[in-house]
Each structure stands twice: as C-alpha cells, then as structure tokens.
Amino acid sequence: MKKNEKNKLEYRLDIAFINREKELRFLRSFIDARPYKILFMHGPRSSGKTTLLYKFFEQVEKEQRVDVKFLNLRESWSGNYRDFIRIFFGVDDNSSSKDIKETREYGIFNFFKLSVEVLKRMEKGELDPFQIMKREFIKLTEKGIKPVIIIDELQAVEHLYMNNDKDRQLIIELFNFFVAMTKESHLAHIIIASSDGYFLSTVYNDSRLKKTSEFYKVDYLEKEDTMEWLLNLEKYSKVKEYSLGEAEAEKIWDTVGGSMWEIQYILDSLFDQPLDEVLALYKKKMKGIVSHYTGAKSKKEKILGLFVEKEFADIKDFVKAGMEEDEVEKLLRDMVRNNILYFDPTEAVYYPQARSFRWGLRLYFGRDGVPSR
C-alpha cells in the first residue's frame, strides 16, 4: 500500500461537489479577462459559494500562474476595524518578538511578505498600506502571475459599516482601492462573496462601485443535479450503507430543494433514522425557527405571512399590504441579517431562505393563513 493511501482519511459521508459547470465557466471567463471590474458573488445561505470558489481555484492553479489570497471573514474576523485591516497588513500575533527579530521576512495571514523595516514604517503611518499592496500586485504581474483577492462573508463587517461613520469611510476607501486596482490599473482580480445581498447592495450604492462591478448569483442546485446526486450517493458522497430510490429522492427535493448543506444534513441523519421521520422532524424544526423569530410580534407575522402564497415580494408589496415603508424596511433588513429571508440585489426582491423555510411558514401559519401557537 502506498504511503498516501495508508494515511488517507475515510468517512461514511463525504462532501459532494455537483456539476456547477455554468458557474465554473463564468469564473474562468472572469479571470481570463484583464481585470476591469469587481465581482460581487451573492446567493442564499449555504448555496455553495465558498465551496465553488475553492473548487475553481484548485482547478485553475494547476493550469495557470495565479496568486490567490483567500480571506474568509467567518474564520478570521474578530470584531473591529483595526483587526479587519490587520488581516491584510498587521503583525501575526502568534509570532513571538524573538521570531520577528530573527526573521527578515515573514508571512502575514498568507497575504504578503514584508520586511520588518517596512512593517514598522507602515505601523507608524509613514507608508500607505494600499501602496504596499499595489507594489506587490505589480511584482506579481511582472512575473507573469495573476493576483486574485477573494473576500468571503463580507457581511461580517456590517455592524461597523452601518454604525460608525469613521469605519464606514475606511471600508469605502478599501473598496475604492479595489476599484483602482481593477478598473483603473488592471492589476488584480477582486471577488467579494456574501450571503447577505442587502448588505452587498448597500455597499455597492454607497461607494464608487457603480459601473465598476458586477453581481453574480450562485443559487441552490437545480432539480436535475439534485436528483443525480441523490440517486448516486456512492459516486458523489461515498455512501455505501444505503441508497435512495426515485420516490425517496423526490421527498428530499420537496422538503429542502437543492440546498446542499441541508441535503448533507438529511443524508447524515439517514444512517440512524428512516427518511419520513427525518423529513417530518426537519419540517417541524423549520416551523420552530419561524415561531422563535416572530415571537408575539404581529408585524413580523404580517410580513412573513405574505410568503405563504407569494414566491417573492418587493417593498411595494408590503406597502400595499398596509405597512409603513420605513418600518418594514427595518424589519426586512433584520430578516435578511438573520437568514429568514434572502434579498436579491439584482432584482431587489425578497424571498424565504430555501424551500425548507417555506415548509416552516406553511406549518406555522396553517392552511387558513392563521398563525398556529
């Protein structure tokens, strides 16, 4: 047995990657063009944006000379703007002073390598960190390497952006720098990903991003791809203990649609429970999420009640239902932030997060449209 085979980890359920050929082609065309715009990648929670990006650059790095800086704010964000900037330019707090003194160059969160002297001057405000980043981009391009920066889970900085004018301005400056690196200097590809389409739209409209960026939606799997996965579990998920028939796969699709994380959750549960029991419990869980979120607040119920019959809605639909525009906008924003609703920034419409949440709404409101307590 080869060494790498001996050390290979085995799981009863693996993470599947299904199709996404359309999305992979789009991303390839994006990085194969000289940089001229920022790409805002949006989509409902757990629609597969991060997995898609990892898969794409795993493929591309085998074919092209690219330097990908992947920043996942869900993993590295700790709560204030200073830490946000440190992710790009600050000192690695895990390094001891002895390490810093003895090492002339060291990595900073896998983004760039700076000499100790340059780092100290930057910390004193003697050097512009954006100019340092620009010089690094120039060095890479002169070597025939494409620089790519990916910021995932951008909504992690929302409370700073929305609540502090100073921090909002600094974040806007960061995005203005990205505009300069794409539209003006054509030095680097910039990809911003988020499940919060409302916040992406806010940032877009509050800075120099109009006519300098593009929205691209990564949605849940289509039914055809979902069924292909569910009917071939050993091929895609390495499941050997059970298989699914057409009728069983249809039941899963009817409950959660093409939501990959939820399908993964259900497949994991099937090792220990029968399918009908798993799906019934999951629907009750979604009803519980609706009930917990609305509490006794009738205004939240009034908004969510519209989606029992409607596929999606825009702000005008809520106003027509007798709600004040300013008040309903605050409630909608909260629903998007809490992953109750999703806001599509390209169409300016709201809809429930995933098919399973629609089941939660149906169970909560009942057939007669009256909330069940």
pLDDT digits (tens, 9 = 90+) for 145-196: 999 999 888 887 776 666 666 666 667 777 888 999 999 999 999 999 999 9
What 8-state DSSP symbol labels residue 313? B
pLDDT at 92: 41
Beta-carbon neighbour count of residue 67 at 10 Å?
18
Separation CA 166–CA 162 (nearest Å): 10
Q: What is the mean pLDDT of the chain?
A: 84
Domain 286-365 classification at class level: mainly alpha
pLDDT at 342 over 80: yes
Per-residue pLDDT at 186: 96
Task: Please state which of the ranges 206-210, 301-305, 342-346 shows the lowest mean pLDDT.
Answer: 206-210
SS3 242: coil
CATH code linked to domain 11-84+129-217? 3.40.50.300
For 34-62, how does the pLDDT look when each residue is reduced to its tens digit (9 = 90+)?
Answer: 999 999 999 998 899 999 999 999 999 88
Query: Is a pLDDT exceeding 70 seen at residue 298?
Result: yes
d(C-alpha 365, C-alpha 308), whole Å: 8
Domain boundaries, the chain: 11-84+129-217, 223-272, 286-365
Instruction: At 332, give phi and psi (nearest 5°).
Output: -65, -40
